[in-house]
Each structure stands twice: as C-alpha cells, then as structure tokens.
Amino acid sequence: MCGIIGYIGDRCASDILISGLSHLEYRGYDSSGVALMHGNEIDIYKAPGKLINLIEELKSKQDVCAKSHIGIGHIRWATHGLPTTTNAHPHTSNCNNLTLVHNGIIENYQELKEELIKVGSVFKSQTDTEVAAHLIAYEYEKTHDLLKAMQSAVKKIKGAFAFCAIHKSEPDKIVVAKRNAPLVIGVGNGENFIASDIPAMIEYTKKAIYLTDYQVGVVQKDSIQIFDKDDNLTANKIEYLPFEAVAISKLGYKHFMLKEIHEQSDVVRNVLGGRLLSPDKEVNLNEFKLNNDEINKISRVQIIACGTSLHAGMVGKYIIEKFTKIPVDVEPSSEYIYRDTIADKNTLVIGISQSGETADTITAIKQVKECGSHIAIITNRTDSTMARLADSLLPVDAGIEVSVAATKSYMAQLISLYLLSMKIMEVKDKNSAKNPEIMKLKQELLELPSKIEILLENTDNIQRIAKKYSNYKNFIFIARGINFPSALEGALKLKEISYINATGYCAGELKHGPIAMLDENMPVLAILNTGIVYDKVLSNCEEARARQAKLIGVTNYLAEKDERLFDDIIKIPSGSDLISPAINIVVLQLLAYYIAEYLGKDVDQPRNLAKSVTVE
C-alpha cells in the first residue's frame, strides 16, 4: 500500500525515481510525487491521479531535474485525506527544510498534531504523514542532526511506518526508518537505493539490506549505517535478491493479468517440481518442518488469510479435512485478530498471502505465534515479513505478480495446499500413498499444466461470452463443495476489475434468499463438475432457469439433455472433483479479464485497490 523510492548517487535522480515508481504503481496509484535535492535546495513535484500525470509535469522541468542526484519519491493509496495534490507525498515541514515520504498509518496523529499546533506547526494537508514531517523538523531544531531527529521522532509515533527523509542542511544523505511496513535498501557501487519493494530497484542492483522493525538508517552515496531500537549501530546484513528484471515486463501481453493467467501452467510445474515425481511416490515437502511425531499430534488446523488467498485456504480446508480427517477452520485475518485466539502447540496454523505483507494477516500470525502453534506460511514473497515469521515456509514459486488481481499466485497456493495435505496424510497413514484416490489426484496434478495449456489455447468461446454479458450490472456465481470457493473467487475477480456487482453463493443457499433477485437481468454462472454435487447443482440451475435467469455453465461434463437449460456453456478439460478448482479458476479468471477488457477498464490497476494491503 503506497510505494516509496529513494536514490543517492551520481545518476539523474528523477529518472531513477520515476522508473522505480512505475514498478510500484501496483501498490497504489491515486497520486504521486518526488522531492529532488540539488545543492541545498529541494524541489518538490506532485500530481494527482496516475503516475503519467507526474511524468507529464516533470517533462517541462528536465533541466532542473537533471541537476539532482539525490531524491525521494512516493506513489499513494489514500488512507487519510482525498487523493489531491496537497495530500500527495512528499510532505514538508513549515520551514520547508525537511521533506519526507511515508508508507503506513500513524495511529496517534491527531494527538501529535494537537501538540505540534501548540508549538507553531501549520498544517496544509489532511494526511497523517504531514505530522511526521513537522515532528521530525521539531526534533531537528534540538540537535541539528537528521539521524537523531528521526530517532527521537519515531519513539513518539504509534502505528506503522516506512519513512524516507531528506534535509536541506544535510544534502548528502537520506534518513530512513521502519516499523510494520516494508523498506529495503538496495546496495550499489557508489550509489544506493531505497524502496518499499524490490521491483522498484531490481534493474539497478541485486544486493539489498532488509530493514527490520524499529531500525533507523542513514543512506549515503558510499555508505549505509543502520541503528537498532536503542540507537546502537548494527552490522549490515546484505542479501541477494532472487528476482530478474524480466519478471516485471509484460512480454508482449496487453496486460500483466493476461500474462500472469498464461503463466499458470509453468507455475504448477514449478511448485510440483522435485516435490511430486510420480503417482506412486510419496510427496517430498522438506519445507514442512514438523517431524512425523509432531505431524501425528496435529489436532486442528487454522488457516488465516484475506481476499483471494482466503479462497485458496477454503479449498485447502476441503482437501486437508478429506485426506487427514483433521478439523480445519478458515478465517479472514481481519476477523481472527479480534477474537480470543484458541490454539496450542498441536495446532497447525497456515497463513496464506501472495505479498506476505498483508497487515491483517501479519497481526493474526503474530498473535497466534504466542500460543506456541507451528506457523506454516504460504507466500509468493520469500523476502516478506510473513516469510520471516514462518516456522515452515511452504513453496509457492509463482514469480512476481504485478496485476492487482491475483491469478497465478492463487494457483500456486492451491498446489502448495494439495502437497501439504498429501504430506500430512502420508505421515498419518503409511498406506495412503497407495490409496487409488490419492494416486489419481497425483496423476491429475502432474497432468494439470497441460490441461491449463489446452484451456488457454482456445479462448474464443470465453471471449464471445464475455462480450455478450459485459453489459449486465449484476452476476451470481454458484457452486457446491470444493468449488464453492471457486464461485467466490470468480465473483471477486469479476467485481475487482470490471466493477460489476458479482456475488458467489453455495448453490444450495440460492433458495434461502438470493433467488429473490433472479430474473432475466441477473445472469447466473454455475460451476458443474462430475462428482457428488453434480446433480444438486443441476437442480439449482433448474430453479434459476425457472426464474428466467440467464444461465452460464462452466462444466467438464454435461449430458446432452441438460444442455437446453443453459444459455451458454464453457467446457473445461475433464478432471475429478478434487482437482477441478485448479481448472475452473482459469476459466473464471479469463471471463473476468475479457469482460473488463471489453469494457475498457484499467485491468491491472483497478480503482481503489492496491496489490499489497499493508494497513489493517
């Protein structure tokens, strides 16, 4: 949520900042700004709306910008105050000497603001961030040292923050601080970078120092000094970044979302690679760190996640319970936090998150960690806060996902959950590896990449249906059993990128209320897979048809006599009920994509959303 970039070196700072911000646009995009230092002056440029507006603004200032080799930049996802130029970062102190950018939320900003007004601060914006600018400037007056000012200011601030600050009197440094919001320092040769996420600097360096909570740092051209909570200098821990710059390119696709949908067959291969070799072999999941005794003692499983990751967790519940008979609770992190945490050392907690930075999930994980439960994290970002909290870091390997709508990371999470459930089962029941149902599932997992490829080879029917239904204002998605989460996820994909009101229901719930909404203006998309719920979903489709709803069937089998029920049918490759969520979802992602694309929506950066939700 919001993106930060900083640069100090010999290159043109504005070029680096703009390039960095363009790779952070997925974190928020309602306004942006940069502060460029040259000599003892700081020039600030800001623009509301997308980054392109700031780029336009800077075009006429090229001569001035070229002189600056130190700067900080920000892209905003508004929390406090409208997305206006005044509220855009960077923010300055009254004397205009200090300038800063901020990610996170300052919880005690009202209190601090009142104190600062008493000592003469005049506020221009509605943001919580401006409080930090005034506070650090106030502290600076006491010591005339930016590091010390930052160190004392952060001790007074409650909440989450990543700060980057510059001061006119200290034109050779950027001072940074972090608590509960990610911040990374990219280590260069005679230059250094700062960013809230590595895509912003991966073009320039593959070495980085991840700041940890409560650290404050001074970044200069040729040095980086980091201080701990007690203001003691610490040793720099340099890590090598695992990403390639190519991962953040569209590679010819119109949108990142379409590229990422198409990457899913390879994502499945990556996650299975070396872990599932053949249907008659046990799963290798060395990343799961519990020993056999401990696995045998697991008495319950709790899955905590948000959004799409939560839907993956719901599929996970179904598979884990089926194979291991261990009860599984799945809960949105934001709800989990505010209940009594009932867990113990025999509880396996699974936190799922694409970004590994979702604030609600981090808080929930920290809370349950106190109970001594084993924490397994399924995240696409092994460099994230959540990964660092893991006792077991389970594989996802989806590569950087840029589009705000999660697609390939969901697929990877599902595969990771299949592996985990089979692993637990194989420990609990030594004969299970020879169980025909398990062998069949393993075979289907190994065949999954080619099934996804078959589906992606011909999308004409999906595109036709997308166009036909793109003008409907409401949609209902129905399914039962293991595909109920697919209905929720399909509806979420559609609403987030096309802004069409789409809701997923258990098909059996339709008659308990939602059926009242059905008429010819309400298309119902039904997921029908061969298996125990097939006939039941079909009956629910009959009920919808009787209310004149338009019916779209997504199915791997439909008897000819039943085809008459449907206005449109999307056939998917065959597969058991157990594997079907991993096939159905590709259709639902494509349908959402093509509807949004047909409507001309901003597919990769839908309004009001951000890729990484780092506020609670």
The answer to whether 26 and 404 are in contact (CB under 8 A) is yes
* Alpha-helix runs per DSSP H in 60-173: 62-66, 109-118, 129-143, 146-156
Nearer to ligand M6R, 368 or 518 (CB): 368
Does 2 participate in catalysis according to the annotation? yes
Residues from 355 through 384 that contact ligand M6R (CB under 6 A): 355, 358, 361
585 binds ligand M6R (CB under 6 A): no
How many chain residues are in contact with ligand M6R, going by CB under 6 A?
16
Tell me which H or E stretch contains 98: strand 98-103
- Give the nearer residue to ligand M6R in terms of CB position, either 164 or 393: 393
267 contacts ligand M6R (rule: CB under 6 A): no
Residues 426 and 432 sit within 8 Å (Cβ to Cβ):
yes
Q: How far apart, in whole angstroms, are the C-alpha atoms of residue 445 and residue 280? A: 13
Which residues share a beta bridge with 393? 377
Of 162 and 438, CB closest to ligand M6R: 162
Residues 2, 12, 65, 541: which is the catalytic one?
2
What backbone torsions phi and psi does residue 447 show, to the nearest 5 degrees? Answer: -85, -10
Task: Using the minimum distance from each CB to ligand M6R, give the nearer residue, 48 or 307.
Answer: 307
Rounded CA-CA distance 414/481 in Å is 15
Q: Quote the CA–CA distance of 288 and 369 in Å, as a whole number.
A: 17
Span near ligand M6R by CB under 6 A; candidates 316-324, 525-533, 586-594, 607-615: 607-615
The one-letter code for the residue type at 266 is D
Closest-by-Cβ residue to ligand M6R is 307
Max CA separation in the chain (angstroms): 83
Q: Which one of 151-159, 432-440, 560-568, 606-614 is the stretch in contact with ligand M6R (CB under 6 A)?
A: 606-614
**Nearest CB to ligand M6R, comparing residues 45 and 256:** 256
Residue 342 Cβ vs ligand M6R, minimum distance, rounded to whole Å: 23
Distance CA 303, CA 366 (A): 14
The CB-of-386 to ligand M6R minimum distance in angstroms stands at: 8
* Footprint (CB under 6 A) of ligand M6R, residues 494-513: 496
Residue 613 contacts ligand M6R per CB under 6 A? yes
Q: Going residue by residue from 387 to 426, which x/- string records binding to ligand M6R, judged by CB under 6 A?
A: -----------------xxx--------------------
Q: Which is nearer to ligand M6R, 3 or 307 (CB)?
A: 307
- Nearest partner of 99 among 77, 127, 129, 54, judged by Cα: 129
Residue number, 54 or 491, with CB nearest to ligand M6R: 491
Residue 361 C-beta: closest distance to ligand M6R, Å: 5
User: Can you say whether the dihedral through the CA atoms of 138, 143, 146, 149 is positive or negative?
Assistant: negative
3 state DSSP class of 483: helix
What DSSP assignment string belongs to 274-339?
A: TT---TTS----TT----HHHHHH--EEEEEE-HHHHHHHHHHHHHHHHHH---EEEEEHHHHTTS
d(CA 89, CA 590): 36
Token pair of 224 as six digits:
């980086």
| Closer to ligand M6R by Cβ: residue 1 or 301 | 1
Question: What is the DSSP secondary structure assignment for residue 130, as one 8-state letter?
Answer: H
What tokens were used for 435? 């169980």
Shortest Cβ 306–ligand M6R spacing (Å): 4
What gap in Å lies between CA 335 and CA 338, rounded to an integer?
6
For the CB of residue 320, give the shortest distance to ligand M6R in the complex, in Å: 19
Report, in Å, the least distance between residue 304 CB and ligand M6R: 10
User: CB of 496: closest distance to ligand M6R in angstroms?
Assistant: 6
Which residues ranging from 301 to 330 are in contact with ligand M6R (CB under 6 A)?
306-309
> Which helix (DSSP H) or strand (DSSP E) does residue 331 occupy?
strand 328-332
Out of 173, 178, 259, 611, the active site residue is: 611
State yes or no: residue 354 binds ligand M6R (CB under 6 A): yes
**In angstroms, what is the minimal distance from the CB of 260 to ligand M6R?**
11
Smallest distance from ligand M6R to CB 357, Å? 7
Nearer to ligand M6R, 150 or 387 (CB): 387
Q: Give the angle subtended at the CA of 186 by the CAs of 143 and 168, to the nearest 5°.
A: 30
Find the angle CA(220)-CA(222)-CA(224) to the nearest 5 degrees.
55
264 binds ligand M6R (CB under 6 A): no
Distances (CA, A) of 35 to 54, 68, 99, 100: 12, 10, 7, 8
Verify whether residue 371 is a known catalytic residue: no
Among 353, 392, 483, 589, binds ligand M6R (CB under 6 A): 353
Q: How many CB atoms lie within 10 A of CB 223?
A: 10
User: What is the Cα–Cα distance from 476 to 506, expressed in whole angstroms?
Assistant: 10
State the residues that interact with ligand M6R by CB under 6 A.
Answer: 306-309, 353-355, 358, 361, 404-406, 496, 609, 612-613
Catalytic residues: 2, 611
